[in-house]
Amino acid sequence: MTTQSFITFISNPVPQVVFAIFLAVAWPLSRFAGRDRRRRIVAALFVASAGMIVALTATPSYADPASFAAIPPHFLTQLDEPRLILAKLIAAPSDMEQIANIALYVPLGVFGRLLLRSTTRATLAGFLLVFTIETIQYAIPGRAGSITDIRNNVLGTFLAAVATAAVVYLSRDDAERRSPVGQPR
């Protein structure tokens, strides 16, 4: 996606409305995270990051219709080719779009790890979101779900969750070192 096509995309009202809906429900939904205000803020940010992802990836592409011919086949049409799928899964990210797909899921990984208190659960949440989006892209004009997008998005979620877990662990360890022996924190 070029800078110009990205600007055209985000200036379209459909992604803006989708993101606004997620922002509007983020705080009310956060009440399911409990009474702790910090936990509710993390939950609201988790929902908002999911909304950003949905707005950017699960809405129609308003690119030039002539460019639709360049859209690769949807991954659902390739399920009968396991070697192709495996090759795409194990190939290293190769261009800036793939790096951007990793970065897109970093906020979800950070807030997912803080909210769900597990790297595995945060990564699973990222996988479920991307798998759902990439599957429904089959029916969205100008979109084509991709195995590499699934891989890159899950990788972004996982790396962010691991980094967040490390920061949480190190900050707790640091607080324990500063606490006098026998004194509660």
Spans of the chain, pLDDT less than 70: 1-6, 8, 62-72, 174-175, 177-185
- Model pTM above 0.75: yes
The reported pLDDT for the residue numbered 60 is 85
Q: List alpha helices for 30-146, DSSP H.
A: 37-57, 82-90, 96-104, 106-116, 119-136
Q: What is the pLDDT of residues 137-168, one digit of tens each?
A: 988 887 888 999 999 999 999 999 999 999 99
What span, in angstroms and rounded, lies between the C-alpha atoms of 15 and 23?
A: 12
The reported pLDDT for the residue numbered 82 is 87
Place of tokens 């459909």: 14
What span, in angstroms and rounded, lies between the C-alpha atoms of 121 and 114?
A: 10
SS3 145: coil
Taking CA atoms, 123 is separated from 69, 108, 129, 147, 153, in Å, by 33, 9, 10, 16, 10
Burial class (CB in 10 A: 0-12, 13-18, 19+), 108: buried
Query: Quick check: 150 and 88 in contact, CB under 8 A?
Result: no
* Cα 104 versus chain centre, distance: 6
What span, in angstroms and rounded, lies between the C-alpha atoms of 29 and 36?
A: 14
